[in-house]
Amino acid sequence: MSVKPYQLQILLKKYSSYLLLLTLVSFVICNTFLIANERYWGVLIPLLLAVITLALLRLETLLTAVAFFTPLSTSLKELGVYNPIGVEMALPTEPLLFGLMIVAWVKMISDKALFKGLYAHPISISISAYLFWLLFTSISSSMPLVSLKLLATRLWFISSFYVLAYAWFQKKSNVHRFVKAYLAGLSLVALYSIVKHSAKGFEHEVAHWVMSPFFKDHTSYGMALALLLPFSYYLTKFSANKAIKLVYTFVFVLLIIALILSYTRAAWLSCVLALCVYIIIKLRIRFSLFLSFFIFLTSFVLIFQTDILMVLEKNSQDSSDSFLEHIESMSNVTTDASNLERINRWKSAIRLFEERPHLGWGPGTYQFHYAPYQNYYDKTVISTNAGDMGNAHSEYLSALSETGWPGLFVFLLFLITVFFNAIVLYPKLEDKQEKWMLMSCILGLVTYFSHALLNNFLDMDKASVPVWAFIALIVVLDLNHKNKEIEV
């Protein structure tokens, strides 16, 4: 005897409460058994089901949640969780980002109208070229599994907070939701760090770890603070309600104080450079002139690097609790261990590049190969013979050593495309709020990519989520402006 579809629906409706009870009892029994055998992954099942439900029914809520938890995420290593397969990830964000990547791919296939104009935009084309070269060099990599893992992380960051964010940011209110969510999480970290730091008398050495377990060190913490600082000012400027304006003013001041207390010299310098870019844009200095000046400055440094190094070697000021002395120590390449170790990593990256100039060693492989490329006279008190202290301390030299000169070229072309489109768009926008929104994106990205000369964080959710979201917002503002011009 067969049961017809409508009869099955009636039966399910009639016995739904019993089915739910049976499911809950089964889960409790199975999870009790797992916990008794010291297997705790079962407790994640309800969370997984909740995430799937959100992704299907309330995707915007899930994106907002990821933005909030990104500054608060922590790694398995920081949590002290044993990881037998050696795959490091940030919890709870990276598993969520992986899920969002699948959602993005499904939507890209099933709802092409949602992403109209995105694929043909110059920024998207440059991102595609960047991803293609990462894939190509992952195949030729000295460690293909490591490289493919890094490629996967790039894909879920870009899929979630470039592709999905493009559709999400079509409403201005969603841009505010994203920024407010990220700032809320970052403000909690800032308050937590300042309170811990105050208990130690705001000493310089303590500033290196007070943000743990949320940030692995003060450099990544300072990067995030500088990256969001322009948008915190934007919210302060455009808050209509006085009480809310007061809240965002507090957040803006909090980020400034936290940035100062982070003792992150590169982040301080990136904010100064962002201010210079703001002045250049407001004075309407042509982009071509600005680019020419940048090329001239780079060429000058390369030609006279020996003379510049001799001048810098006269500075013997080490890192200090004094802010003025700490700033002065930025140019100390004689005794400051942090600066010397950074130079050691840079030289190692260049030697790696010289051995494999065209395809590099493979994305994400620098940390596994740089040890034998250290010269004994470049090593510092914080160097290790095993070379187990991390990356190349430069987004650009990392690209050079891991993906060859074409990889660095494609990465620089991507950056030029982003900033060119954003800076050219700025004077065309008529809406004052949109102009400030775009300016916040530009200045935030300037702080990151200038900081990237001295560090690299694009493999971290803390940096990648806001960076790709800001780039998506630039594309949204650009395409919306072009559509308005067509309508007129």
The tens digit of pLDDT for each residue in 378-418 reads 787 777 766 666 788 899 999 999 999 999 999 999 999 99
- Per-residue pLDDT, 300: 67
Return the pLDDT at 387: 63
Mean pLDDT of 314-337: 50
Q: What is the pLDDT of residue 95?
A: 83
**Burial of 351 (C-beta count, 10 Å sphere; 0-12/13-18/19+):** middle
Res. 91: pLDDT tops 60: yes
Residue 235 has pLDDT above 70, yes or no: yes
pLDDT reading at 13 higher than 80: no
Task: Give dist(CA 48, CA 85) in Å, integer.
Answer: 21
Q: How far apart are CA 175 and CA 273, in angstroms?
A: 25
pLDDT tens, position by position, 266-289: 899 999 999 989 998 888 877 677
What percentage of the chain has pLDDT greater than the value 70? 76
68-82, 166-180, 438-452: least confident range: 68-82
Q: Alpha carbon of 113 to those of 109, 118, 477: distances in Å?
A: 10, 10, 17
DSSP tag of 3: P
Lowest-pLDDT choice from 242-251, 375-384, 462-471 = 375-384
Ordered DSSP codes for 158-206: HIIIIIIHHHHTTSHHHHHHHHHHHHHHHHHHHHHHHHHHHHTTT-TGG
User: pLDDT tens digits for 352-374?
Assistant: 999 999 999 999 999 999 988 88
DSSP 72: T
pLDDT at 39: 63
pLDDT-based confidence at 79, cuts 50/70/90? low
From CA 312, how far away is CA 332, in angstroms rounded?
6
Domain boundaries of the chain, sorted by first residue: 47-108+115-298+388-483
Using 50, 70 and 90 to split pLDDT, how confident is the model at 439?
very high
For position 202, what pLDDT does the model report? 86
Give the mean pLDDT of 323-340.
Answer: 55
**pLDDT of the residue at 135:** 97
Q: State residue 326's pLDDT score.
A: 46
Q: Against a cut of 0.75, is the pTM above it? A: yes
Q: Is the pLDDT of residue 84 over 60?
A: no
Q: Which residue has the higher pLDDT, 123 or 316?
A: 123
Q: Coil, strand or helix: which one is 74?
A: strand
Distance CA 464, CA 157 (A): 6
The pLDDT value given to residue 393: 87
Given this model, what pLDDT does residue 444 score?
A: 97
Q: What is the mean pLDDT of the chain?
A: 83
Question: Mean of the pLDDT values across residues 312-339?
Answer: 52
Of residues 258 and 36, more confidently modeled = 258
Q: Secondary structure of 246-289 in the HEC alphabet?
A: HHHHHHHHHHHHHHHHCCCHHHHHHHHHHHHHHHHHHCCCCHHH
Q: What is the pLDDT of residue 329?
A: 47
Q: How many residues does the chain have?
A: 488
